[in-house]
Amino acid sequence: MTASMETISDKLLAWYDVHARSLPWRARPGSPLTDPYRVWLSEVMLQQTTVAAVKPYFAKFTERWPSVEALAQAPEEDVMAAWAGLGYYSRARNLVKCARAAARMGGFPETEVELVKLPGVGAYTAAAIAAIAFGQRAVVVDANVERVVSRLFAIAQPLPASRKTIREKAGAITPDDRAGDFAQAMMDLGAGICAARDPDCALCPLAADCQGYASADPARFPIKAAKKAKPVRQGTAYWIAQGGKVWLVRRADKGMLGGMRAFPDDGWRAGADGSGTAPLAGEGETLGIVRHSFTHFSLEMAVVKLDSDHSPGEQAGEWWPIDDLESAGLPTLFAKAASLAAAQD
């Protein structure tokens, strides 16, 4: 390294002052700190989800529930329906729990120690809120920061084992002042210039200090262990329609897509998670197959149309207008099934 740790943060902050992304949940450099509610909401939404996908959801949520107090008063089913399509639905359930806990406290606490006690708030989110919303020195490490730090220090240990070292190195270059801006600058650098593929090192403000760049192959960092192939499950969902309406059930609170409206299904018979419904009796017409990838497996789900006089079974549910299915808040898997079935019904 040709520069001190302090110089690295200075260079990055100077770059950020000019090149910071304009995002709806972010304050511009030099502006007052962002409302912690907006920081928290954006960070939860951004977990394993792209900025482009999050923007319309963030706008919809903050228009409908402009404060943590407003969100705390919202019925859980309304929040789950508004969340539909963002995936990882446990985040939505924890969103309501956290909003209610924060509202009871009179707002979000300012320290990582207290923030991490809130439902669904892990170490990363707590650090992000503390730094960005409250201006505290906190080490914020997301996937983008992991990549930047891995390249900056040419960390040869593969992920995930290298995460302890990455955090230590990130802590060493995090400044006492403007820690929130520094964290967001690292995120922006990783999202743009220091991209996963083909990093644009010629534009990087830290190129002169980067050991990965000096190695002539920065893109090989971070080193990742070989991924295991995802298992593929098969399952069936049932389309039961009559009078322009289709039968929807609410999935069990625990398990995959917990608490969401959906079509009855067979529990995804290969490795069932218990959150579906019992297979329905009788035969029907197979309309096709929809495919969806979850974190740990992929699913091939047949969509079977049953006769309109077929009993929907014992599970509580509701008849929903087919031409208004968009407002049902179906998760992406079942939205795919609805599109397939509605086109043929």
Which DSSP state fits 309? T
pLDDT tens per residue, range 103-142: 999 999 999 999 999 999 999 999 999 999 999 999 999 9
CB contact at 8 A, 234 and 302: yes
Per the residue annotation, which of 6, 43, 112, 283 is the catalytic one?
43
- Indicate the CATH number for domain 232-342: 3.90.79.10
pLDDT at 313: 59
pLDDT at 1: 40
Q: Which range among 33-47, 282-296, 304-318 has the greatest average pLDDT?
A: 33-47
pLDDT at 279: 47
Tell which wins on pLDDT, 255 or 319: 319
Give the lowest-confidence range in 6-15, 120-129, 146-155.
Answer: 6-15
Residues in the chain: 345
pLDDT tens per residue, range 278-295: 445 556 889 999 999 988
Question: Domain spans of the chain?
Answer: 5-220, 232-342
Coil, helix or strand for 262? strand
* pLDDT surpasses 70 at 232: yes
pLDDT tens per residue, range 239-255: 999 889 999 998 887 78
Closest listed residue to residue 259, CA positions, set 247, 250, 249, 248: 250
Mean pLDDT of 222-232: 87
Active-site residue, 43 included: yes
- Confidence label for 270 from pLDDT (cuts 50, 70 and 90): very low
Coil, helix or strand for 317? strand
CB contact at 8 A, 249 and 262: yes
Mean pLDDT of 40-53: 94
Which helix (H) or strand (E) segment holds residue 289: the answer is strand 285-293
Could you give the CA distance from residue 53 to residue 83 in angstroms, rounded to a whole number?
Answer: 12
% the chain with pLDDT above 70: 91
For the entire predicted model, the pTM comes to 0.78
Which DSSP state fits 320? E
Query: Regarding the domain delimited by 5-220, which CATH topology (the fold level of the hierarchy) does it fall under?
Result: Endonuclease III; domain 1 (1.10.340)
Q: How many CB atoms lie within 10 A of CB 158?
A: 12
